[in-house]
Amino acid sequence: MSEPAEAVEMRAALLRLRRSTGIPIAFGGLLGEAQRLRIAQLSGARTSALQGLSICAGNGLGGKSIALSRPCAVTDYHEARHISHEYDAPVLAEGLRSVLAVPVVVRRKVRGVLYGALRRPVPLGDRTFDEAVAAARDVEQALVVREEVQGLLSIAREPRVGPAVWEEVREVHGELRALAPRVSDPVLRGQLLAVCGRLAAAGATAHTRSGPPWGGESGARAAGGAVALAPREIDVLACVAAGSTNAAAAERLGLRPETVKGYLRAAMRKLGAHTRLEAVVAARRVGLLP
């Protein structure tokens, strides 16, 4: 069974934090259904004392970070007076002294905590704080993207009827295509692109049944055989199909406007289309867009 994507993202963020700051140990986890944090990922630990530790909001340094929804730190954990000390035993076993905790916050809700620590009682510098916050933001972004994808996938899989069905299908398809490059989990990314392919194929079937909305030689060429477009060419066409300008498509896809123009020109050439509209319709006819 493959490892949960959240665990992969958390472990990668902890490793980046250690590499960027040189701190000897980083650890963290996400909140579960009972709103308790479970330390599930450790990088640089010497013992298993912290593994699986369950943290309640308000308790210890991490619990304080959860309760306040902001970073917290202590220079000497055992002597700190502004935190509670329910977890002194595992912290002592690992030999931690100077510790920071940064919450992972998604849509104003704490979803997890990243910790960084030293085994000596010295203040953690601003650079370490900044890198810890950046690592937490990486996890936040990964969680946001995953939730957006899952929501769109659920919409795409629901059987729907009604006159506006294809507009909704096209909107969902375009959003999924734009999100795909931001998904680090290869299993989820493959699942997402497979759904995009199903939506596009369904669109091609619908267009074949309804007949061509525009005529001309270029349309006949597009419909007459297989057309292979690069993934980014399809992404750009999906944005164009949703009514985006080149500038808007560039912002949505994280590309430069000139790059978008290049992809669009290449797609039009391959589809035998002379205008943006012809390219979109040709792509729909051959099953590249819904």
Highest mean pLDDT out of 59-73, 145-159, 169-183, 242-256? 59-73
- CB burial of residue 50 (10 Å; 0-12, 13-18, 19+): buried
Q: Stretch 121-149: mean pLDDT, rounded?
A: 87
Q: Summarize pLDDT for 180-239 with one digit per residue, the tens.
A: 777 777 777 787 788 788 777 766 555 555 444 433 333 334 344 578 899 899 999 988
Q: Stretch 273-279: mean pLDDT, rounded?
A: 91
Say how far apart CA 264 and CA 237 lie, in whole Å.
Answer: 7
Give the C-alpha distances (Å, rounded to integers) separating 285 from 156, 183, 229, 232.
Answer: 20, 28, 14, 19
To the question of domain 5-142 being in CATH 3.30.450.40, the answer is yes
- pLDDT value for 182: 74
End-to-end Cα, the chain, rounded Å: 33
Q: 44 Cβ partners below 8 Å, 6+ apart?
A: 18, 23, 24, 25, 26
Q: 126 Cβ partners below 8 Å, 6+ apart?
A: none
Q: Which tokens in the block code for residue 134?
A: 């950046």
Q: Where are the domains of the chain?
A: 5-142, 159-285
